[in-house]
Chains A and B, each alone.
Chain A
Amino acid sequence: MIEGFTALYIFMLSAFTGYEVISRVPVILHTPMMSGSNFIHGIVLVGAIIAMGHAETTLEQVIGFFAVALAAGNAVGGYVATVRMLEMFQSRGKGATK
């Protein structure tokens, strides 16, 4: 599906995107931002599901099980933590416009 240089191009463009997106973040949002990007690499869950789905031996199943559980923890924990932090900013935003 993704061949040699195409993969390299995807890698390069994504790297610049990440750099650009975060370079305009105000300091007050740095912690929620770190938490948010922490959530986004929770996409590893997709890889964990695929790897576990193809597991054939018991050893592979055991490692795969850990992969899926850890990845789910990353995604869910990252999401809840980020939302909790951002909710505080949201309520302040509403207060300011009153």
Chain B
Amino acid sequence: MNTFIEIIYFSAAVLFILGLKKMSSPVTAHGGIVWAGIGMIAASLVAFLEPGVLDHVSNVVLIIVAIALGSAIAYVSARRVAMTDMPQMIAIYNGMGGGAAAAIAAVELVKLARGGVELEPVIQVLAVLGGLIGAVSFSGSAIAFAKLQGLMRKTLRLPFNSLLNLGLFVVTLGAGVMIASGAEVSSGLVLSFFVMALVLGITLTLPIGGADMPVVISLFNAFTGLAVAFEGFVLDNAAMIIAGTVVGSSGTLLTQLMAKAMNRPISNVLFSSFGADTSSGVEEDIAGSMKEIEANDAAIMMAYAEKVVIIPGYGMAVAQAQHKLQELSQLLEERGIEVKFAIHPVAGRMPGHMNVLLAEAGVDYDKIVDLEEINPEFPTVDVALVIGANDVVNPVAKTNPDSPIYGMPVLNADMAKNCIVIKRGRGAGFSGIENHLFYADNTRMLYGDGQKAVASLIAGVKQL
């Protein structure tokens, strides 16, 4: 029986890695997740056959009830959520995984505290570490969810936040060391360790601004993977170790890629607060003024252009304007105009967020281009249509070394012959930095809700 269980775990691990590999190409991606899913179902089923699991009927019943409950809630929420809200849902599912890893650690450590189980010292350390990381990922992801969902508008900054975090971290780690050293472990100590770890996740995530959330979610994803791997060592389960570690390392790489695209070292994202002091301190003189344009005039500009580049940002996602944008681009193409969609690596709340939304609206892949590809082309672009994007087109990142976003690669919309910016209001972007592009001579502002503004552009083009 044990060999059978091991074979299934082994196959599941192979399926996970192959599935991830297949997910790295658009053509095979769907097959990849199905393969991983088969591995998951098989591994979960044989987990019941592990020695001792089926011994207590009451536990088995509780397991089935818990699976039914968790699955039902997750299934319904994942089915119903709009594509635009996907990032925060990924955050919450990831947090659940972290919470589960922490809870496993808690069960084992509570058992250890009452002498119900013997663990090797190394394993005790891993159990404590996995529990800490998992708990931080759990509560941190919950905060990330609340922020992206708009439940928490302001970035709450407690006095001496970094110092507080550091202190809390040291105390939590101290409790962890006490548990791991195994001298005298009480279940009270174990529980307070987990409570502190949960609070740490909250205080770490609270001061981080919404613009940095993609990096944070990705980091917590890697955290959860690592926590799962550590608990895999505790339970002596190779499938958990392999799957958890693979996610931990790939998640770390993804986090690095994202942080690099935003030109924000991960340490900066976590331990400094974005734009809080800098934007208020640096009062810059901005030449020119924001010039408004009517939708009809903007439509004429686009209809008689040769090349139009559309730059979507988070605002497009909020306004659900992707379908209208696709309609507009088709309309323009019927007039023989070359239309492209330029995607900044961190546009939206996740890398590739915009791509997912545009794919949903039916935009062809080959019309979606990334930053390196499109930037040299901007001088030949007649109209750059910026919709709901701000910081990713801010030329300040290239010109002003004092700016907090200095050095971040941006889309050179300011180099296009004309630039139309669809914007809800006159305020600054997520980072709170004034955007010089909006004041440029060749920029016109089209104020209003993204979807309505694009709809009026469509109406304008149709009239011609």
Q: Which residues of A contact B (CB under 8 A)?
A: 1-2, 7, 10-11, 14-19, 21-57, 59-61, 63-90, 92-93, 95-96
Closest to A15 in B: B249
- Residues 204-239 (chain B) with a chain A CB within 8 angstroms: 217-218, 221, 224-225, 228-229, 231-233, 235-239
Cβ contacts under 8 Å, A93 to chain B: 26-27
Does chain A have a CB within 8 A of B292?
no
Encoded as 1 (CB less than 8 Å from any A CB) or 0, chain B from 68 to 102 comes to 11110111011101010011011011101101110
The answer to whether residues A29 and B70 also contact, given A52-B62, A70-B96 and a CB cut-off of 8 A, is no
Which one, B109-117, B272-280, B327-335, is touching chain A? B109-117
Specify which chain B residues have a CB less than 8 angstroms from the CB of A14 in the assembled complex. 229, 241-242, 245-246, 249
Question: Contact: B94 with A83, CB < 8 Å?
Answer: no
B355 touches A28 (CB 8 A): yes
Q: Is the CB of A49 within 8 A of B253?
A: no
The answer to whether B364 touches A96, judged by C-beta atoms less than 8 angstroms apart, is yes
Tell me, yes or no, whether B299 is within 8 Å of chain A by CB: no
Which of the segments B46-54, B169-177, B396-404, B427-435 contacts the partner chain? Answer: B46-54
Are A31 and B77 also in contact (CB < 8 A) when A1-B236, A93-B26 are? Answer: no
Chain B, 390-425, contact with A by CB distance < 8 Å: what is the 0/1 string? Answer: 000000000000000000000000000000000000
When distances are taken between beta carbons in the complex, the residues of chain B under 8 Å from A16 are 249
CB distance from B81 to the nearest CB of A (A): 8
Give the chain A neighbours of B254 by CB distance below 8 A.
22, 30, 33-34, 37
| Contact call A33/B23, Cβ cutoff below 8 A | yes
Residue ranges of B at the interface with A (Cβ–Cβ < 8 Å): 9, 12, 16-17, 19-21, 23-27, 29-30, 32-34, 36-37, 40, 43-44, 47-48, 50, 52-56, 58-60, 62-63, 65-71, 73-75, 77-79, 81, 83, 86-87, 89-90, 92-94, 96-97, 99-101, 103-104, 106-108, 110-111, 114, 116, 138, 187, 217-218, 221, 224-225, 228-229, 231-233, 235-254, 257-258, 343, 345, 350-353, 355-356, 359-360, 362, 364-365, 368, 370
Given A44-B104, A85-B86, A89-B29, the answer on whether A79 and B250 have CB atoms closer than 8 Å is: no
Extra A-B contacts (5), CB below 8 Å, given A36-B33, A75-B71:
A15-B248, A46-B9, A47-B231, A47-B235, A66-B103
- Report B240 CB to chain A, min CB distance, Å: 5
Q: Which of A36, A40, A74, A89 has its CB near the most chain B CB atoms (within 10 A)?
A: A40
